[in-house]
Amino acid sequence: MDLVFLGTPAFAVPSLRALAASDHRVCGVVTNPSRPKGRGQRVAATPVQVVADELGLPVLTPESVRQPELADRLASWAPDLLVVVAFSILPRRLLRIPPRGAVNLHPSLLPAYRGAAPIPWSVINGERQTGLTTFLLNERIDAGDLLLQVPVAIADGETAGELEARLAVAGADILVRTVDGLANGTVTPRPQPAGMATGAPKLSRQDGWLDWSQPASVLRQRILGTNPVPGAYTLWSGREVKVLRAQCCEASEPAEPGTVLAADPRRGLTVAAGSGALLLTQVQPAGGRAMDGSAFVRGYGLQPGLRLGQAAG
């Protein structure tokens, strides 16, 4: 089949490479425009555009998917199918262009975790399993007919970023199998189960705030699920510090949540939670680099009794 691929971030790159190497023809790519990035705000192409240029594929970078000229260009490529991985919501006008519709790759077992951030929320919520779903796009978000699904275990201690990297690779395989199945008639769309949908809205910065009154196990999953973005954080003497990794442990003594129970220059910082405690094994002070919790204790002179999560004074 002739395909047009629509995607932007690194998560979409394995899928584009796999489709380009398949028996199908990628006749064009649509991605976001180049944007300023990083501290230097240097303009950079999206990961998908970098790979599309490497593969010699035509690329469109519209400011909006509702631009009339985008629909005209897509129609001129005459694709049989649109393939969408981590891209904008497509309007009806675009969905109607290809005779076979549009296939989307979603990193959850739909109808669970519909929305923009299924990977972080599956980790935050302590799920032991997630998965990958391919489905046909319609005008409702992540609600189209299912095509293929594959379950994927979430490892203990795995961050959202690490899980995303694994799902990106596995997603490329299920996506190619889906397109193959649509081409030869072995994959048949089926409706999503009714009444079982759950949401996965885009994360805000506030979703990274650590409420020390919660159990240590809940806090650890929030730390893992918001790593790398937006990042879990607390306050230390009025200054922000990100917590990148932590381990659950027993509280050595009763204490108010957020209290530093131990500041060991060899093990790191142990903090009381609503139940249990957390050993902070990797942190990043504001404006500084990521470091082991032990280095944080040695370099910043933390002492037991300090309360995290409170403003200075």
CATH 3.10.25.10 for domain 205-300: yes
Domain boundaries, the chain: 2-184, 205-300
pLDDT category at 42 given cuts 50, 70, 90 is confident
pLDDT at 313 over 70: no
Q: What is the pLDDT of residue 222?
A: 98
Nearest to 22 by CA among 178, 214, 163, 168: 178
User: Can you give the pTM of this predicted structure?
Assistant: 0.95
pLDDT at 101 over 90: yes
Task: Note the pLDDT tens digit of each residue in 191-244.
Answer: 999 999 999 999 999 999 999 999 999 999 999 999 999 999 999 988 999 999
| Cα(222)–Cα(211) distance, integer angstroms | 10
> What topology is assigned to 2-184 in CATH?
Rossmann fold (3.40.50)
The CA-based angle 280-283-288, given to 5 degrees, is: 160
Q: What is the pLDDT of residue 84?
A: 98
Task: Note the pLDDT tens digit of each residue in 16-31.
Answer: 999 999 999 999 999 9
212 φ, ψ (degrees, to nearest 5):
-65, -10
pLDDT category at 37 given cuts 50, 70, 90 is confident
Task: Note the pLDDT tens digit of each residue in 55-82.
Answer: 999 999 999 999 999 999 999 999 999 9
| Cα(240)–Cα(33) distance, integer angstroms | 33
pLDDT category at 6 given cuts 50, 70, 90 is very high
pLDDT at 153 over 90: yes
Nearest to 8 by CA among 77, 64, 61: 61
Question: SS3 for 156?
Answer: coil
